[in-house]
Homo-oligomer: A and B are copies of this chain.
Amino acid sequence: MAFGGKVLALAGGVGGARMAAGLARALPAGALTVAVNVGDDFDHLGLHVAPDLDTVTYTLAGINNPAQGWGIAGETTAFMGALKRLGGPDWFLLGDQDMATHVLRTLRLKAGESLSAITADFARRLGITTRIVPMSDDPVRSIVDTDEGTLPFQDYFVRRQCIPRFHGIRFDGLETARPSAGLVAALRDPDLSAIIICPSNPILSIWPILGVSGVHAALSTASAPVIAVSPFIGAKAVKGPAGKIFAELNLDPSPAGLLSCYDGLVDGLVMDHADADRAGNCGDVALRVTDILMRDGADQEHLALEILDFAAGLRAGTGGRDG
């Protein structure tokens, strides 16, 4: 039975993009909105770079580099080679095709268009029917507090490759950032039937989205179930520094540890078989144990269908622990 109603997914980069791609395949056209973190956006070489938005967009367009997760398939690096030759900063890789996204987005932002409008237009031109919306059109900048001092997000994440010890994170601009119109519309949609927190890094990618004005309140009062998908398999992050950061914050990479990041907002948690024996202390959160690794499009769609089935059960009051 096809899932009825609308779905809102909250996503960061690679894990969020893969989950969004599965949901886009599993749902009817027009049913899915993906709200994307922009806390790791930054100004680089005078360009507005939005890594999570681009990863989601390229993935939903089917032009992403599937092995790497981010970037465009078949991407070339002539720009970077020439930039290095001229003494420019080469620590953040910008592919030749990818550059077009940054240059055109920067130009259109300076001309007064919103990030939402530009993102929607790029998606349309790339043949994407899913709504991709930035969490906010206002600037938010993640700043990581480390044992090497405070670092702008990409300095921590790319330049220093998450090596500094993570002490905490703040999101400059988040207090006054308004949710994008597309995110507001999705949250207010009377047909909203599931809110899915993708298996992105809860601290780096999901916290900024939940911190946008009104989002936390909307999730806590939503009639649609809020379902989180774990980014851990066997207590290890599938990708990225979530495991290292959890350890540095003395958080347990278990279902309960993950749920502690989500502040009581989650109604259902989707986790891997490999973590079933760590699923204690989850309170009244419904659990769904399945295979959550997304190796390819088939995995993505299969997991999405499983999540939608779980959500339908929770809406009908037939969900609950199976772990």
A residues neighboring B (CB under 8 Å):
45-47, 72, 75-76, 78-83, 85-88, 95-101, 103-104, 106-107, 110, 121-122, 125-126
Contact = CB atoms under 8 A, between A and B. Distances in A.
A43 to B, nearest CB: 10
A2 B167 CA distance: 68
Contact of A121 (B87, B96, B100, B107): B87
Q: Which label, helix, strand, loop or mixed, suits the secondary structure of the A interface?
A: helix
Contacts of A85: 100, 125-126
A79 to B, nearest CB: 5
A126 B45 CA distance: 20
B97 A79 contact: yes
In this complex, which of A46, A47, A88, A122 has the most chain B Cβ atoms within 10 angstroms of its Cβ? A46
Nearest to A122: B86
Given A78-B76, A78-B78, A88 B100 contact: yes
A125 B83 CA distance: 11
A106 B121 CA distance: 26
B79 A100 contact: yes
Given A85-B125, A87-B125, A79 B107 contact: no
A45 B104 contact: yes
Contacts of A72: 82
Contact of A104 (B86, B100, B107, B121): B86
